[in-house]
Amino acid sequence: MGMSKSSLAFLVLVFAFFVCYVMSSGSYDYFQFVQQWPPTNCILRTKCSKPRPLQNFTIHGLWPSNYSNPKMPSNCIGSRFNFTKVSPRLRSKLKISWPDVESGNDTKFWEGEWNKHGTCSERTLNQMQYFQRSHEMWNFHNITEILRNASIVPHATHTWKYSDIVSPIQTAIKRTPLLRCKPRPKSQTKSQPKSQAMSQLLHEVVLCFDYDALVIIDCNRTAGCWNNVDILFP
Ligand code: 5GP
């Protein structure tokens, strides 16, 4: 006895709703914890919150990600950002670890990151936990210090190989990070020697964490810095 057409249609509809629900409420494999180098933001943007950008890596975001597409999921259904859910004590710490280095509006930056990324892992980390965990990761994995200890410090002209920068971080955290770069703006590369004109700017250092955002794991080398192009750490 076959299933009637209407029952089949009903089942298909239920399945479609289920898939939509899973996608919109966020299904992810691991976390990318992204720290950024503020001077690079300032070179790339006309707007910069401070005349002299901060000289330490700060948080860009904690992004639940999929191995098949690390830019997903995003903008999931979930609670909207509510800054009262983040304690005043934590908020004052985040002003140091997670400042808005572009417009200076920290709360708005946190709101954007929570709504775009945090909502997709809300079943693992609620708002307070999401920001708390990010701050702890930043505190525990001090990229600026790791690089400084390896004599990798900002310089106007000196360039590095990808492995020069990755190696000391790998040694310190015992896992492989991912570096992300941005092409140098044309205005910066005019009248430069060819070797420097071909360089890229170090922008972000990504550390990867397991599904629960507790255990650090190796990052896959996905879109990041160009291969075989020297890296400027401005
Ligand atoms: P995502 O939205 O994927 O988290 O990150 C990309 C966006 O974050 C970009 O539009 C970039 O301009 C923005 N972004 C990176 N750093 C900052 C910052 O310090 N402040 C603000 N307002 N946006 C930032």
pLDDT digits (tens, 9 = 90+) for 189-225: 666 665 555 789 999 999 999 999 999 999 998 878 9
CA of 223 to the centre of ligand 1 (A): 17
- With beta carbons less than 8 A apart as the criterion, state whether 134 and 31 touch: no
Burial of 72 by CB count in 10 Å (0-12 exposed, 13-18 middle, 19+ buried)?
middle
Mean pLDDT of the chain: 90
Query: Which pLDDT belongs to residue 5?
Result: 72
Predicted TM-score of the model (pTM): 0.90
Ligand 1: atom nearest CA of 63 is 4
Query: Which pLDDT belongs to residue 51?
Result: 76
Ligand 1: atom nearest CA of 60 is 16
- Choose which residue among 32, 34, 41 to substitute to test ligand 1 binding: the one with the highest number of ligand atoms within 8 A of its C-beta: 41
CA of 194 to the centre of ligand 1 (A): 31
Confidence of residue 48 (pLDDT cuts 50, 70, 90): confident
Q: For residue 167, what are the contacts with CB-CB under 8 A and spacing of at least 6?
A: 150
Tell the CATH topology of 29-232. Answer: Ribonuclease Rh; Chain A (3.90.730)
Tokens, residue 124: 């693992």
Confidence of residue 17 (pLDDT cuts 50, 70, 90): very low
- With beta carbons less than 8 A apart as the criterion, state whether 157 and 201 touch: no
* Percentages of the chain per state (helix, strand, coil), in multiples of 5: 40, 15, 45
Confidence of residue 15 (pLDDT cuts 50, 70, 90): very low
Q: Hey, which residues are catalytic here?
A: 60, 113, 117
| Residue 186: C-alpha distances to residues 43, 44, 117, 152, 196 (Å) | 11, 10, 32, 25, 12
CA of 88 to the centre of ligand 1 (A): 23
CA distance linking residue 103 with residue 199, whole number of Å:
27
Q: Rg for the chain (alpha carbons), in Å? A: 21
- Which has more pLDDT, 171 or 51? 171
CB atoms within 10 A of CB 63: 23
Reply yes or no on whether the pLDDT at 16 is more than 90: no
**Mean pLDDT on 3-32:** 68
CA distance linking residue 234 with residue 230, whole number of Å:
13
- With beta carbons less than 8 A apart as the criterion, state whether 165 and 147 touch: yes
Q: Which residues pair with 178 in a beta bridge?
A: 206
Pocket of ligand 1 (CB under 6 A): 36, 41, 60-61, 100-103, 109, 113, 116
pLDDT > 70: percent of the chain = 87
Query: Which pLDDT belongs to residue 186?
Result: 80
Reply yes or no on whether the pLDDT at 6 is more than 90: no
Domain ranges for the chain: 29-232
